Amino acid sequence: MKFKLYFLLTLFFCINSYAQSYIFGKVISEDNAEIQDVTVINIRTYEMVVTNRDGHFMISGRAGDELRFVKAGYERLGRKISSENIASPVNITLARATILIPEVEVKQGITGNLKIDAKNLNRPKKVEKLIKDIDKYIAQKSDPRILAAKPGEFVQPKGQGFFIGKVKNKWDDIDLMKYLHSALGDEYFTDLKIEKPQIDHFITYVLAGGFERKSILKYGFCSDADLNRFQRFVLMRISSYRAPQTQR
């Protein structure tokens, strides 16, 4: 009888230890502001959810799982889940990513005063003379007979002008693909189980799925809101990308 009771207690303990639970939590910034649209990934189950406008999330998991928190513009963070995290909410603080500003070399001696700068730069006399001769030549009016049409040549009639077509976009899909790859980084895609050689192909696949990008291509600018929108679109397309070719 004692052996049966010990066996049942052991079985109950094992089932309770490995039971699937839900992990609740909230993601905030360093200044205690709620952060929405943070991608939360359970590395063991590969389940993904996104935080709501208040920064809250709920994802299935158990003690021992690792959760990863990813959002453009913030440092990626991993958190190991303990038994205490199952019983109480998990509070996550994301730090802003450090942006390295390239060093700008300032030439010493540039004051903005033309006379002082010309004296400090001390250009050779031959260069000074050449610049003066060029300025003098440009200032002279050309003889109209030089520009006149020769006998038999076609002369373009003067008019109000004409439209030569719409202005081209500053970016194309290749430019956008390179920007998304650079902005999100390799780790964002490898966390989604996309191998590095396939990252550009996957981004192209997501764009071809109907991602709205007219204004991005037109102005050559992708905002944080566009990056968040792209990440949500990724979560919608990732399953079909992994499916066999016949099921896409």
User: How many CB atoms neighbour CB 231 within 10 A?
Assistant: 21
Burial of 124 (0-12, 13-18, 19+ CB in 10 A): exposed
Residue ranges of domains in the chain, CATH in brackets? 19-94 (2.60.40.10), 173-242 (no CATH)
User: Closest by alpha carbon to 187, among 29, 78, 99?
Assistant: 78
The predicted pLDDT at position 142 comes to 57
Q: pLDDT (tens digit, 0 to 9) for every residue of the chain, 248 residues total? A: 444 444 444 544 444 444 568 899 999 999 999 999 999 999 999 899 999 999 999 999 998 999 999 999 999 999 999 888 887 889 999 999 876 555 655 555 556 565 566 666 666 777 777 777 777 766 665 555 555 666 656 555 555 554 455 668 889 999 999 999 999 999 999 999 899 999 999 999 999 988 999 999 999 999 999 999 999 999 988 888 877 544 55
> What share of residues in the chain are helix, strand, coil (percent, to 5)?
45, 15, 40
Contact (CB, 8 A) for 65 and 128: no
The predicted pLDDT at position 88 comes to 86
Contact (CB, 8 A) for 241 and 205: yes
Phi, psi of 241 (to 5 degrees): -70, -35
The predicted pLDDT at position 187 comes to 92
Burial of 173 (0-12, 13-18, 19+ CB in 10 A): middle
